[in-house]
Chain A
Amino acid sequence: MAEPILSVQKVSKHFGGLTALNDVSFEMKAGEILGLIGPNGAGKTTLFNVISGYYAPSVGRVFFKGRNITGAPPYALAGRGIGRTFQVVKPFAGLTVLENIVIASFLRHPRRAHAEAQAWKVLEFTGLADRAHVPAASLTLAGRKRLEISKAMALEPTFLLLDEVVAGLNPTEADRTIELIRNVRDQGITILIVEHIMRVIMGISDRLVVLDFGMKIAEGTPAEVAANPQVIKAYLGEEHV
């Protein structure tokens, strides 16, 4: 097997007495879409924050493209090629959509004119070009989620963490976003995605990792995972197994 692009090794994260992640390990190969699922509070967002540098793990290590990135700050990881979105969307509300994306473009294009040209390309790609000059605060939820993806894409990442970019959208909007995620993957970008909506995650993921109470309880193709008794138990309770 080729060297994994991401390797999470025996990661645990404690907050005081609470264990949010407990000895989680998995690997990702370049170009795949890995879905991360689990009931509320399973530790999905914590894991995202560990991989993207927002939290240092209490125990364990994270390797990206063969290099140890454990504890590196988020801004350094952005430079290495890791882009992320936030579950609770974080637009720069007072700035225009274009400005939001230009800020991200500065990472690869330090000159402002170049950054703007690049931002327009991203806007075309994500379908926000017609909203370029409105304040980010005036976007709908669907628009804001799209803006999150746009900002991450403007970093020109090789690896993307998407945290519930479909949740809360109506079916039409959801389909457009799924389409967008597939287009992102077709550019060769590896994607780790958290999503609550099973229809979405089952359809889009090459493989799945399932977390429950901070522990990895299953890993495999969507079909394998759906048939796994432990997963059914975690989601539906003991009596459905």
Chain B
Amino acid sequence: MLIPLTKDRRLLVFLGIFLAVLLLPFVVHDAFFIRLFTEAAMWIGLSLAFDVLAGYTGYLNFGHSAFFGIGAYTTGLLMMKSNWPFYLALPVSALTATLAALIIGFPTLRLRGAYFSIATWALARAILQGIMMIPYAGGNEGIQLKAYLNPLFFFYVMSGLVGVTFFVLWFLLERAPFGLKLKAIREDQESAKALGLNPTKLKMQAFIMSAIPTALIGGIFAYWVTFIDPASTVGDLISDQALVMVVFGGMGTLIGPVIGAIIIFAFKTLFWAYLSAYEVLYLIILGAVIAISVVFLPDGVLGAAFRKGTGRHAKGSIHVTTPSPEKEA
């Protein structure tokens, strides 16, 4: 049931949390922690963007990192090669990502289930290899940006962008009709058509909506870490981590990815702080956590915490769209 916006308490809670996050630097002054918060915000943003497609629309985008990389390289190259200021270069990342989403989405969004995941993964690999071959983009060596050593600046830009992303997505997906329409596509595309929905158009809109914040985060990332190369921006790790965070937190919600990102990122940070000698264990543990949460917590930790029986896994089935041949009786 839709609660009138002015009476929707959730909005107040979200605004309160967002405000509290923005006030964090007044409590914690240590640059190390500010950097951790910035990275946490980055992962929250990437997970939210990933979930627009994965949870709401039912498309697992294993090429999510392509948009991150495109954003990082657009901002990075404009700043380094053309001397653009950051605030002008960053919005261009949104434009190049939109263009890339249109080009990538057109052939891939007609695929279903695993085929979509394989195709997007392969395209991201192709983009990675492509950047390596372009000398202008620094090739394998990557590019070095001029350092701007102001942790607070990056904290505010990153968490500001992620906060805005959250509220925009919340309005579009949880309050406007758009979110329900995407879920209809996720549940049954053929039947959605009969109800007046144009799946191609809706999926493309979702794809772009997922690409834009991802690219903007990539652009901020480039300026923040001052060095980007194909592996660290377009590599699989970005997509994999976002997937893990979303699945662990709870797909098809906006709170789930936030919780998942915080827990997984905290685990990662603690692990590297105390157990970095056992490097190999990290991926093993991460993999085991995912396998276990997929089997036992199909709705993620969020779903486990609020099991009401109305969840999308009420019948106990895992609801990632699997490729099914079109059956017509």
Contact = CB atoms under 8 A, between A and B. Distances in A.
- Do A and B belong to a common assembly? yes
Interface string A160-203: 00000000000000000000000000000000000000000000
A155 B180 contact: no
Contacts, number: 110
B175 A112 contact: yes
B2 interface: yes
Nearest to A163: B329
A93 B315 contact: yes
A104 interface: yes
A94 B195 contact: no
Given A134-B310, A137-B315, A112 B176 contact: yes
Nearest to B184: A103
B2 A138 contact: no
Interface in B174-197: 175-177, 180-181, 183-184, 186-188, 190-197
A226 interface: no
Q: Is the interface of B mostly helix, strand, loop or mixed?
A: loop
A75 B183 contact: no
Interface in B20-45: none
Interface string A126-167: 000000011101100000000000011011000000000000
Contacts of B175: 112
Contact of A106 (B183, B196, B319): B196
Contact of A90 (B177, B190, B309): B190
Nearest to A80: B196
A78 interface: yes
A23 to B, nearest CB: 21
Contact of B194 (A84, A94, A112): A84
Nearest to A152: B194
B110 interface: no
A230 to B, nearest CB: 25
Interface string B305-316: 000011111110
Contacts of B327: 88
A103 B194 contact: no
B112 to A, nearest CB: 15
A134 B314 CA distance: 10
Contact of B180 (A79, A99, A151): A99
B310 A103 contact: no
Nearest to B183: A95
A82 B175 CA distance: 28
B319 A94 contact: yes
B2 A75 contact: no
B172 to A, nearest CB: 12
Most interface-central of A92, A102, A151 (chain B CB within 10 A): A92
B13 interface: no
Interface string A51-65: 011100000000000
A84 B328 CA distance: 15
- Counting chain B residues whose Cβ lies within 8 A of the other chain, the interface size class is 20 to 34
Nearest to A89: B191
A103 B180 contact: yes
A155 to B, nearest CB: 6
A112 B179 CA distance: 11
Given A88-B327, A93-B315, A135-B310, A110 B177 contact: yes
Contacts of B190: 54, 86, 90
Interface in A40-90: 45-46, 49, 52-54, 73-75, 78-79, 83-84, 86-88, 90
A106 B182 CA distance: 13
Interface string B123-148: 00000000000000000000000000
Contacts of A94: 183, 186-187, 311-314, 319
Contacts of B196: 75, 78-79, 104, 106-107, 155
B181 A90 contact: no
A135 to B, nearest CB: 5
A103 B1 CA distance: 13
A222 to B, nearest CB: 25
B315 A74 contact: no
A22 interface: no
Interface in B198-229: 198
A149 B4 CA distance: 29
B194 A87 contact: no
Given A103-B195, A151-B194, 4 more contacts: A86-B190, A92-B188, A94-B314, A107-B195
Interface of B: 1-2, 4, 175-177, 180-181, 183-184, 186-188, 190-198, 309-315, 319, 327-329
21 contacts: A46-B328, A75-B194, A75-B197, A87-B329, A90-B188, A92-B187, A94-B187, A94-B319, A95-B183, A95-B184, A103-B195, A112-B177, A113-B2, A133-B310, A135-B311, A135-B315, A137-B315, A138-B314, A138-B315, A151-B195, A155-B196
5 interchain residue pairs of minimum CB distance:
A94-B312, A90-B191, A92-B187, A78-B196, A107-B196
